[in-house]
Structure 1
Amino acid sequence: MSTNTKESNGAQIPSSYLQYHKIISQYIEDSISTAQLAKKHGLDISEKVESQIGYDLPDRIAKIHEIDISNRLRTLLPKLGKELTALKISEEIVLGKYGGTTIEEKLNNAVRVGLSVVTEGVTVAPLQGIYDVKIKTNANRTQYLSVSFAGPIRSAGGTEAAVTMLIADHVRKVIGLDKYIANSFDDEISRYVEELRIYEREVGNFQFKVSDKDVIHCIGSLPVEIDGVDTDPVEVIGHRNLQRVATNRVRGGALRVMNDGLIGRSRKLLKIVETLKLEGWDWLKNLEGAIQTPEDDTVSHRMTEVITGRPVLSMQKKIGGFRLRYGRSCNTGFSTIGIHPTIPILLNYAIAVGTQIKIDAP
Structure 2
Amino acid sequence: MRSVEEHQRAVADLIHPRPPVAVSLHEAEGLVLAADVTAPICLPVFDNSGMDGYAVLAADVAGATPESPVRLPVAEDIPAGRTDIPTLVAGTAHRIMTGAPMPFGADGVVPVEATDGGIDVVTINAATAQGRHIRRAGGDVAEGATVLWAGQRVNPPAVGLASALGLAQLTVRPRQRVLVISTGSELIHPGTPLAPGQIYESNGVMLAAAVRDAGAEVVAAPTVSDDTAEFSAVLDRYGVRDGAVDLIITSGGVSAGAYEVVKDVFGREGDQGVDFVKVAMQPGMPQGIGRVGAAAIITLPGNPVSAQVSFEVFVRPALRRAMDLPAPDRPRRTAILSETLTSPPGKRQFRRGLFDHETGTVTNYGPPASHHLRFLASANCLLDIADDVTELPQGTEVEVWDLTGCTG
TM-score range, shorter chain: under 0.3
Structure whose alpha-carbon radius of gyration is higher: 2
Larger relative contact order (Cα-Cα within 8 Å, sequence gap ≥ 6) = 2
Using the size of structure 2 for normalisation, the TM-score is 0.20
Using the size of structure 1 for normalisation, the TM-score is 0.22
Greater fraction strand: 2
